[in-house]
Amino acid sequence: MKDYLENINKAFESKARLGIMSVLMVEDRVDFSTLKDTLQLTDGNLASHLRALEEAEYLRVEKQFVGRKPNTTYHATDAGRKAFNNHLDALEQLILNNRKDN
Amino acid sequence: MKDYLENINKAFESKARLGIMSVLMVEDRVDFSTLKDTLQLTDGNLASHLRALEEAEYLRVEKQFVGRKPNTTYHATDAGRKAFNNHLDALEQLILNNRKDN
């Protein structure tokens, strides 16, 4: 396999997951509706991508109460930040290789 | 939606398709087994990604005979080259935005 493809991480392939991780890299804690509005995803679609990233241990879910209302927030784990940065590095290599050859 | 996500093209999301298009941007015509070896994909997996890119009219399939042996080659269409370049530009924006914020 081409070197620059090796480090592309399947966990971050989709636009939705690129978006989720991009938001979580900047904001320490983000709630579901903020993510939904920012990324314009349906509830089901967003929930399924969040679950996949949680299963990969790239993000953590925190449930707490704000007053009497339950509030669920998402934040990137250290492993998630590291893996996403590696993925961005791999995409950068892919771009450089394509630009170089054309 | 964040600007830099708008132009990410779902047709190119997967590692396999990024790989296929990267190869076809450089080589005018590539046969199935060269793609398979380069990208280390199974026959079924590669065939299904090639079919999807063909349906999007991002690549064209040509069947001809080399001597008496049938030979199938793949090459990127102009629309495919343009769309892939736009996708790379969008990824570049995503990377720049992430690097800027961190």
One-letter identity of residue B71: N
CB contact under 8 A, A19 and B5: yes
SS3 assignment, position B63: strand
Torsion of CA B71, B77, B80, B85, to 10 degrees: 110
Collect all residues of chain A within an 8 Å Cβ-Cβ radius of residue B25. Answer: 98, 101-102
Look up residue B3 and give its amino acid. Answer: D
ipTM of the complex: 0.84
Domain count, chain B: 1
| Cross-chain CB nearest to A5 (options B10, B19, B26) | B19
pLDDT at B102: 54
Q: Report the alpha-carbon angle A55-A58-A63, nearest 5.
A: 75
Give residue A97's pLDDT. 87
Chain B positions in Cβ-Cβ contact with residue A78 (cut-off 8 Å): none
Shortest distance, CA A76 to any CA of chain B (angstroms): 13
Contact with chain B for residue A3, Cβ under 8 A: no
> By three-state DSSP, how is residue B13 classified?
coil
The domain that holds B42 is classified in CATH as 1.10.10.10
Tens digit of pLDDT at every position of chain A (102 positions)? 677 788 899 999 999 999 999 999 999 899 999 999 999 999 999 999 999 999 999 999 999 888 888 889 999 999 999 999 999 999 999 999 888 755
Domain coverage including residue B31? 3-101
Q: Decide if B58 contacts B84 (C-beta within 8 A).
A: yes
